Chain A
Amino acid sequence: MELLTNTNHGLYCPQADVYIDPWKRVKKALITHGHSDHARPGHQQYLCHTKSVAILKHRLGKAITVQGVDYNECIRINGVQFSFHPAGHIIGSCQIRVEYKGEVWVITGDYKTQDDGVCTPYEVVQCHTMITECTFGLPVFRWEAQEKVAKNINAWCLENERNGETSLIYAYSLGKAQRVHALLEEGIAQVYTHPTVYKTNEVLLEQHLFDRTSICFDKDHFPKKGGIIIAPVAFSRSNWVKKNRKLQEAMVSGWMQMRGTRRRQGLDQGFVLSDHADWKGLLMAVKESKAERVIATHGYQDVFAKYCTELGLQGETYDTAFEGETVDV
């Protein structure tokens, strides 16, 4: 029997009878981070990093039964040892290490190897088997240094402000929104956040996990001239956006690397900035984990597994109910 297996409920550890990021309802779920394709509603018990507890309650409801653990803290379940380690993806994101009778697996969840300055940076965890995401598992994805992208975003916002136009930045409400916000230089323009982002920020502010402030965008509070709005991409379909002519829209995502996906959004600008590892990041993570067996999931798993095999590793794939992060959300 394998220590972990892929079931139709999600990744399962039979010895401990627990699931990791399951997509169907289960008794006990270990959660890598708060994004909705990893933290699903309806489980009886949740186990996640302490920084994710408030996020889970905010997103899944106050009534959920959730236990928080610290980095490197060991949890034993029926002889299996579980521990959580920083994944560098978003605030509270973890890799989960699973050890039983000397065999070690690591489930990376989503991760990036760049330090974004907002969440706890990625740490290498050695293992025998690594289940790695590979959202950007193609050699065409390579990220520039964050400072360089930040410079471009700030320059763009400044230019818009000077032209009296509002900069509307599309970013995931949890993770990317805070990262982008933190990269904005103070004093360029007043920052507004979409209510979804604003509420997420409030939760993080309360936990002292984030410290930037903004005005909550609503029918009485919106930029009349200039200004910056951070919003989820669904906001692009709102009437306010459709009717507003003094807007410049940008998307911040790793997918902006591809011209086709950038053009498809029909936006003015695309900034390449991702909370996932790029090709080099993935390869570095695999190498430093010292894993002999690599199971690719969430992304271009076939390509990535095949390449791992060529590197002399045992490359395999797991399919998931989710397609990983896609641009069209």
Chain B
Amino acid sequence: MKQFVQLYRSLDQTNSSIKKVQALVNYFDIADEKDALWTIALFSHRRPKRTVNTKVLREWAAELAGIPLWLFEDSYHIVGDLAETISLCLPAPRKQDDKNLCYWIDYVRSLKDLSEEEKKSKITSAWDSLESDARYLLNKFITGGFRVGVSQKTIVKALAKKYGLDEAVVSHKLMGNWSPDTHDLQSLLFDTSMADMDAKPFPFSLAYPLDQEVEDLGSLDSLLFEYKWDGIRGQLIKRNNEWYLWSRGEELITDRFPEFKSVLDINTDNFVLDGEIIIRKDGLIKDFQELQTRIGRKNVSKKKLQDSPAAFIAYDIMEFEGQDIRHLSQDERRKKLAPLITLLPNQQFSLSAEIKTSSWDDIKKLREEARSKKAEGVMIKQRSSPYQTGRKKGHWWKWKLDPYTIDAVMLYAQRGHGRRANLFSDFTFAVWDEGSLIPFAKAYSGLTDAEFKQITQWVNKNTIERFGPVRSVPAFHVFEIAFEGISLSKRHKSGVALRFPRIKRWRHDKQAKEANTLADLKKLL
């Protein structure tokens, strides 16, 4: 695995995306094809299925390191990464590794049907053959979460450079359901006749947050406005009278939303729609929370389908009558989309209506009222733009509503993971209710590194009690918490659940007693 370890090190040791692309190209130059293919798979989140659970991994690692399990666990909470903790705790390897990447991936996969004893012997033998970084990578193959700062974009750029292909083409080829078992490098990157091309989604076009005055985007009539629906992004494919639904995370979620099967009811075939999946009952869009109860379920009960029926609000079309039409302008694509939607059953399908507007003030006002439409803001699209691959500047903007905010007191702190390892970065926040503090949200992000450092020093000096990795601290620091939505919840002590809570700022100017109350919070319901 030496070549792959070298690649990992080069990628891990630079922040420059040019150097990352170059490191990948250099690797593709020397790696054998199967290794290269697995590398592409790993960097596009296609890791092998988990064959060993992490609980036993911890036990074996502690045993091999000759330390008690609690000490291993404590170390893990500080390092913030299981694969890394294991690789650092173990004694130096006694054997040499001369195998390639594929060998080790297959090694991990071959554990699937073995007994626990056999698994243990194979894993510990692997640990004894690999040096620290290689061990870390092997552990990552097992535990997942393989993140080394290589985005899909980076891998696409590298492959395009290596094979002299267009980036958009490579990006498309890497989408959908493929694995190193079903494809070789040739068929993945160059073949167009594969049967699975039917299910292959297009790369999503992504919007930039609006970071300038809306008036500066151009003339009013060069832009298209629509609501930014509060659901999950979906790509619906109908080809050869079969249908497929993909999530933005490139997960095939066809089975989770059986209601969209009605896309087969019409004669028109071979088209691909981009839109938002939401819950709509009796013509009314429901809260995101209701959709959440559907997202995770692979088998949807009849009752669930009845209570929380899904709908698809279409806003774009990438393929029409079997032709890739992404190069057409927004307006021209809409001309194909609108009549197509009228053919589809209107209970499940609708068009994301264009907001007609006559002035900038008008659009600002409509945005303010977005919540009443169950939208989270406004989307702005350049009428002349083709459908982009990924996030490109100057075509699509999202103009979200300002989040809700509340001032809350920090009550508990826990160390973070990844690059926040060893810093207290995960906090539990509370609001006042009749003189006592009621926890209502956890938040991880929103502070600068310097602020995390400062709060970490404070937590270290002011810990009251330790519950495993969690520390309780005095009610002292107030933070402004921002969130996207709030709903009633029976599962939470506070009686409310927040959507995407994060820290907006540290309120050094406020004392704990000046934080908001549970009543203030519930007013936002």
Contacts and interface: CB of A to CB of B under 8 A. Distances in A.
Interface of A: 138-142, 257-261, 263-264, 266, 268-269, 300, 302-303, 306-307, 310, 319, 323, 328
A260 B81 contact: yes
Interface string B406-423: 000000000011111111
Contacts of B74: 138, 303
A258 B75 CA distance: 11
Given A139-B67, A258-B421, A269-B13, A264 B75 contact: no
Interface string B127-161: 00000000000000000000001000000000000
A263 B85 contact: no
Given A307-B71, A323-B457, A140 B420 contact: no
Contacts of B15: 266, 268
B78 interface: yes
A19 B70 CA distance: 35
B127 to A, nearest CB: 15
A260 B449 contact: no
Given A138-B74, A140-B75, A260 B88 contact: no
B75 A260 contact: no
B17 to A, nearest CB: 14
Nearest to A300: B78
A139 B418 contact: no
Contacts of B72: 139
B420 A264 contact: yes
B14 A260 contact: no
Nearest to A257: B88
B66 to A, nearest CB: 9
B26 interface: no
Interface string B53-92: 0000000000001011011101100111100110011000
B6 interface: no
B80 A260 contact: yes
8 contacts: A140-B88, A140-B89, A258-B422, A261-B421, A261-B422, A264-B420, A266-B15, A300-B78
Contacts of A269: 13
B12 interface: yes
B460 A260 contact: no
B256 interface: no
Contacts of A138: 74-75, 78-79
Nearest to B149: A263
Nearest to A320: B461
Question: What class of interface size applies to chain B in its complex with A?
Answer: 35 or more
Interface string B455-470: 0010011000010000
Given A140-B75, A268-B14, A323-B460, A259 B422 contact: no
Q: Which of A139, A268, A328 has the most CB of B within 10 A?
A: A139
A137 to B, nearest CB: 10
Nearest to A329: B453
B417 A140 contact: no
B454 to A, nearest CB: 10
B420 A258 contact: no
B420 A260 contact: yes
B13 A268 contact: yes
A328 B71 contact: no
B419 A260 contact: yes
A323 B459 CA distance: 11
Given A140-B79, A140-B89, A328-B453, A264 B71 contact: no
Nearest to B67: A139
A141 B453 CA distance: 21
Contacts of A139: 65, 67, 71-72, 75, 88-89
Interface of B: 12-15, 65, 67-68, 70-72, 74-75, 78-81, 84-85, 88-89, 149, 416-423, 449, 453, 457, 460-461, 466
Nearest to A140: B88
Contacts of A266: 15
A240 to B, nearest CB: 19
Contacts of A300: 78
A260 B79 contact: yes
A253 to B, nearest CB: 13
The 6 A-B pairs at the shortest CB distance, nearest first, are namely A260-B421, A140-B88, A263-B419, A138-B75, A264-B419, A139-B89
A260 to B, nearest CB: 3
B84 A310 contact: no
A105 B67 CA distance: 28
Contacts of B84: 140, 258-259
Contacts of B423: 264
Contacts of B466: 302
A258 B71 contact: no
B460 A259 contact: no
B417 A142 contact: no
A140 B85 contact: yes
Given A264-B419, A310-B68, A258 B453 contact: no
A79 to B, nearest CB: 36
Nearest to B420: A260
Contacts of B65: 139
A263 B148 CA distance: 10
B409 to A, nearest CB: 24
A310 B460 CA distance: 24
A269 B449 CA distance: 19
A111 B152 CA distance: 45
A325 B416 CA distance: 20
Contacts of A306: 70-71
B88 A142 contact: yes
Contact of A259 (B12, B68, B416, B453): B12
Nearest to B91: A142
Given A264-B419, A310-B68, A258 B79 contact: yes
Contacts of B461: 319
Contacts of A310: 68
A258 B89 CA distance: 12
Contacts of A303: 71, 74-75
A241 to B, nearest CB: 14
B139 to A, nearest CB: 12
Given A268-B14, A302-B466, 18 more contacts: A138-B79, A139-B71, A139-B72, A139-B89, A140-B84, A258-B79, A258-B421, A260-B416, A260-B422, A261-B421, A261-B422, A263-B149, A263-B419, A266-B15, A303-B71, A303-B74, A323-B457, A323-B460
A259 B13 contact: no
Contacts of B418: 260, 263
Contacts of A302: 466
Contacts of B453: 328
Given A140-B88, A140-B89, A266-B15, A259 B421 contact: yes
A10 to B, nearest CB: 15
A190 B194 CA distance: 59
Residue picked from B12, B67, B71, B461, most chain A C-beta under 10 Å: B71
A211 B449 CA distance: 38
Among the interface residues A257, A302, A323, A328, which one has the most CB atoms of the partner chain B within 10 A?
A328
A141 B131 CA distance: 15
A300 B417 CA distance: 18
A300 B466 CA distance: 14
Contacts of A142: 88
Contacts of A319: 461
Contacts of B419: 260, 263-264
A319 B13 CA distance: 35
Contacts of A263: 12, 149, 418-419
A260 B78 CA distance: 10
Q: Which of A138, A310, A319 has the most CB of B within 10 A?
A: A138
